[in-house]
Amino acid sequence: MTKLLLAMLAVISAAMPSHASAQAAGAPGAQAEQFTPEFQRVHTARDPKHTPRIEAPDSVRRGEWFKVTVTVGAESMHPSLQEHFVRYIALYKDSVEISRVYLHPVYSAPTVTFTIALDEGGALRALAEPTHSAAWEAMRKISVVP
Amino acid sequence: MTKLLLAMLAVISAAMPSHASAQAAGAPGAQAEQFTPEFQRVHTARDPKHTPRIEAPDSVRRGEWFKVTVTVGAESMHPSLQEHFVRYIALYKDSVEISRVYLHPVYSAPTVTFTIALDEGGALRALAEPTHSAAWEAMRKISVVP
Amino acid sequence: MTKLLLAMLAVISAAMPSHASAQAAGAPGAQAEQFTPEFQRVHTARDPKHTPRIEAPDSVRRGEWFKVTVTVGAESMHPSLQEHFVRYIALYKDSVEISRVYLHPVYSAPTVTFTIALDEGGALRALAEPTHSAAWEAMRKISVVP
Amino acid sequence: MTKLLLAMLAVISAAMPSHASAQAAGAPGAQAEQFTPEFQRVHTARDPKHTPRIEAPDSVRRGEWFKVTVTVGAESMHPSLQEHFVRYIALYKDSVEISRVYLHPVYSAPTVTFTIALDEGGALRALAEPTHSAAWEAMRKISVVP
């Protein structure tokens, strides 16, 4: 069904005049048909397939390297399909981005282990952005001792 | 302690039935159904919708900033659809990556203007990777004068 | 001077025992010496060299492609040096990331032009992260008409 | 209107004296002083601190998820310093990029574990790009059985 739609789109777009430069898809505003409310804001409600799971120690020493594994989603692995996959997983400490991994549609599974060190305690945050919506966010407290 | 928790998680997740629509972690080898030959190697043959178009001067002064615009594809803009879009555009000078932009499925059009400076002449190369295949590559000679 | 320090660091780190695997830099916690308050949170105060400048229309039609140029900083171009450069520039619409470009230390200037389309009005936000601090953020209102 | 504003900005910025410490936009060609031969091509010669180490099985089943850990460098962990760090680690299967992680100057250690699945045997390649040179590359054969 999806493939049929894509095939139809391909035929339609091949038939449409294209003056390139900045007009990716025919009539001005035509891209609006691609928007859905799912894309409008980061999702913080818990969803078993999309909310990232953060595995990390509860407490670490300041400046000590430790591992953080982030997996999408919290209860079952999000699929890796050409038409539906996790684009990237990013790890933050409060507002500060620490590491970000971009994934392949079919060769990557949405789980990654980073090695990081922290300056002060707070919230580890993971953002995972699938292709069909804005990012999903999870949080996990961590304390840092001297 | 963390290792113990991780080991427990591994046991639990191995024991859980998984029937995600794509079975990211279903039967061993199930992901193989997602592979297609399109993903196997970088495409260098010219394709009007996927080969990137590189706009740049023919010649620049060494160390002088200049603009390079890369657009996918060479003749008509590649669509930006939730299930079919350009993941990233990367600009190389021969083997060296200079800049890379990651794009949004529906809010980004696959065209970007970078500002760069070069050390020596050679080939500007652009790689653009859509969601349904390996990257498409284009090349454009540039000379650098002192 | 900086080169001297780096050379000294190289000598010191060569002299230090390394058991690799997870211990990047000798004694547990040794990485703490690299932390500075500059890295602790995103900067929103205006700084002429680090705050990004966002050039975009004040109003666009829903679903219409338009250009956004982000330059670091607002008043003079941030340098591109091996030891001090802008790592990436990311463009958001409110909480949603639209495009992100990673830059080269010496071959890239920190200015980029994206082409985007919007669903609804709000704030375009640009984040630019240099090597010596957390990201700097700028905002610019945009309205979207049907 | 936007074009007029942009034109005015261009005139103003051309008229403004620029004396940033690095003169990103100073005398034409000034950026040339930042170039070194280290940046000119990808390094494949073995270097204990920069060549990535790839840990992966020798053989996997087609479509089976498995872990790949890439660490920089092969014999001792590369430092994570504000002025000298590993910008990203990318994992390829022959010419095809599978996953790429961008790292923080001081909060990230240059080691990451990806989970991937393969279609056919060949060479796993890891590229790691530090701030002071072009990327360093390593390779490791892997076979894929049905």
pLDDT above 80: residue D107:
yes
Check residue C28 and give its pLDDT.
79
A12-69 per-position pLDDT tens digit:
343 333 333 444 445 778 899 999 999 999 999 999 999 999 999 999 999 999 999 9
Pair type for strands D86-93 and D122-130: antiparallel
Cβ within 8 Å of residue B27, ≥6 positions away: none
DSSP-based three-state secondary structure for B74: coil
Cβ within 8 Å of residue A63, ≥6 positions away: A117, A118, A119, C28, C29, C30, C31, C32, C33, C34, C35
**CA distance, residue A75 to nearest chain C CA (Å):** 24
pLDDT above 60: residue A103:
yes
**CA distance, residue B27 to nearest chain C CA (Å):** 32
Contact B100 C97 (CB under 8 A): no
Going from the C-alpha of A7 to that of each of A11, B83, C117, D62, the distances in angstroms are: 6, 12, 24, 29
Q: Could you say which DSSP state residue B18 is in?
A: -
Contact B104 C103 (CB under 8 A): no
Contact D102 C87 (CB under 8 A): yes
Q: Which among B112, B128, B99, B105 is positioned nearest to C114, based on CA atoms?
A: B112
The model's pTM is: 0.85
pLDDT above 80: residue D4:
no
- Look at the block and give the residue holding tokens 């029937």: B19
**CA distance, residue B43 to nearest chain C CA (Å):** 23
Report the mean per-residue pLDDT for chain B. Answer: 87
C30, closest residue in chain A (CA to CA): A63
Asked whether C6 and C14 are in contact (CB, 8 A), the reply is: no
The shortest CB-CB distance from A111 to any of D107, D109, D115 is to D115
Q: Give A9: exposed, middle or buried? Use CB within 10 Å, 0-12, 13-18, 19+.
A: middle
Contact C20 D109 (CB under 8 A): no
Q: B14: which strand partners? A: none
Per CB-CB distance under 8 Å, the chain D contacts of B101 are: none
Per CB-CB distance under 8 Å, the chain D contacts of B96 are: 39-42, 134-135
Interface residue ranges in chain B relative to chain A, Cβ cutoff 8 Å: 1-2, 5-6, 9, 16, 18, 20-25, 31, 34-36, 39, 71, 75-85, 87-88, 102, 105-107, 109-111, 131-132
Cα distance between residue A61 and residue B98, in whole Å: 37
Asked whether A108 and D98 are in contact (CB, 8 A), the reply is: yes
**CA distance, residue A41 to nearest chain C CA (Å):** 6
Q: How many Cβ atoms are within 10 Å of A137's Cβ, its own excluded?
A: 20
Per CB-CB distance under 8 Å, the chain B contacts of C99 are: 101-104, 107-108, 112
Cα distance between residue A49 and residue A101, in whole Å: 19
Helix residue spans in chain D (DSSP H):
2-15
Q: B23: which strand partners? A: none
When computed from its CA atoms, the radius of gyration of chain C, rounded to whole angstroms, is 19
DSSP-based three-state secondary structure for C51: coil
Check residue B96 and give its pLDDT.
98
Cα distance between residue C17 and residue A134, in whole Å: 45
Query: Residue A41 is encoded by which pair of tokens?
Result: 């804001």
Q: Please, which chains are in contact with C (at least 3 CB pairs closer than 8 A)?
A: A, B, D
Query: Residue C40 is encoded by which pair of tokens?
Result: 């602790």
Half-sphere exposure of D123 (CA within 13 A, CB side): 9
Q: Which among A64, A50, A59 is positioned nearest to A138, based on CA atoms?
A: A50
Cα distance between residue C91 and residue D30, in whole Å: 29
Per CB-CB distance under 8 Å, the chain C contacts of B111 are: 115
Check residue D9 and give its pLDDT.
40
Q: For a pLDDT cut of 70, what percent of chain A falls above it?
A: 82
When computed from its CA atoms, the radius of gyration of chain A, rounded to whole angstroms, is 19
Counting one residue from chain A and one from chain C, the pairs whose CB atoms sit within 8 A come to: 86
Counting one residue from chain B and one from chain C, the pairs whose CB atoms sit within 8 A come to: 77
Query: Residue D121 is encoded by which pair of tokens?
Result: 């045997």
Q: In what order do the strands lie in the sheet with A86-93?
A: A59-61, A136-145, A122-130, A86-93, A96-102, D96-102, D86-93, D122-130, D136-145, D59-61
D41-90 per-position pLDDT tens digit:
999 999 999 999 999 999 999 999 999 999 999 899 999 999 999 999 99
The shortest CB-CB distance from B112 to any of C80, C107, C114 is to C114
Q: In what order do the strands lie in the sheet with A66-72?
A: A52-55, A66-72, A108-116, D108-116, D66-72, D52-55
Q: What is the mean pLDDT of residues B50-71?
A: 98
